Amino acid sequence: MGIQDKKLLYKTALNAAESAGKYLLKRFKDADASITESYKHDVKSDVDVKTEEIIKSIIIDQYPDHGFICEESGNSGEDNKNKWIIDPLDGTVNFVKGIPHFCTSIAFKKGDEYIAGVVFDPVRNETFSALKGIGSFLNGKPLTRSKVDSLEDAVVSGGFFKTKSLEMGGRIFEKISTHIKKVRFFGSAALDLCYLAAGRFNAYIQYSVNEWDIAAALLIAELNNVKFNINISDGHYNVVASDPNIFDELMNFI
């Protein structure tokens, strides 16, 4: 894939994410999101569905023959090597509860390789993005971050669902809690990983997340030298990530 093709994919992802984010912000300020489905430990709103429609419409207009992996509408074009991975609203519970911490996440992958990714936080007007072979960015500027040299200085983020991942993740956080500086759970996997990429966090641990939750953020973090251990089980991702300097020390607790 040529650089111009990559740049068009990247531009399309940016356009779709920012258009979706504007809609999310309007609905958040209007405070009129209605819950359409409720699972035991999850919430979906009509905003998720409408936001995904906005994103897919923009992408289909440019790439009508591409496939999708989406949180709301599922998979399409399973044999298609060109796929968009979309989480229209990461942090739905925050959104519905009036907590201003949520985002839109869009990634493109060809085969098994992520090429472009965008995570847009409309509340803070922050666009985290990445393009394979080029780098990672925050609001169009190269993403840089401070690093820590010891786990005891690290701020660690993450989360887990009230399923088996609670037991697994809970054990890990219990083990490391006295060996790190602080733990923060903010309720958005995509933003947590982007914050790690930006140096706001130093490590991230999350069990049983879906590809659409983290696809774009994985690329953003990877291209800014974040180190990963990823285990995929039953289609869900168990992710441990950190600054390179503390990765081996962190993995001793996993």
Helices (DSSP H) in 31-130: which residue ranges? 46-62, 92-96
Question: What tens-digit pLDDT sequence spans the chain (254 residues)?
Answer: 789 999 999 999 999 999 999 999 998 877 655 555 444 345 566 888 899 999 999 999 999 999 999 977 767 777 789 999 999 999 988 998 899 999 999 999 999 999 999 999 999 999 999 999 999 999 999 998 878 899 999 999 987 655 555 556 567 777 788 889 998 889 999 999 999 999 999 999 988 889 999 999 999 999 999 999 999 988 888 899 999 999 999 999 87
Residue matched to tokens 């300097």: 245
pLDDT tens digit sequence for 163-188: 555 556 567 777 788 889 998 889 99
Whether residue 143 contacts residue 224, with contact meaning beta carbons closer than 8 Å, is answered with yes
Q: Give the model confidence (pLDDT) of 49-95 as tens digits.
A: 899 999 999 999 999 999 999 977 767 777 789 999 999 999 988 99
Q: Does pTM top 0.75 for this prediction? A: yes
- Cα three-residue angle 123-20-187, rounded to 5 degrees: 50
Shortest CA distance to 108 belongs to which of 121, 94, 118, 98?
A: 118
Q: How far apart are CA 247 and CA 84, in angstroms?
A: 30
DSSP assignment of 184-241: E--S-HHHHHHHHHTTS-SEEEEEEE-HHHHHHHHHHHHTTT-EEEEEEETTEEEEEE
Q: Are the C-beta atoms of 93 and 201 separated by less than 8 Å? A: no
Treating both helix axes as pointing N-terminal to C-terminal, what angle do 3-30 and 46-62 enclose, rounded to 10 degrees?
A: 150
**Domains, in order of start, for the chain:** 3-142 (3.30.540.10), 151-251 (3.40.190.80)
**Token digits of residue 248:** 């081996």
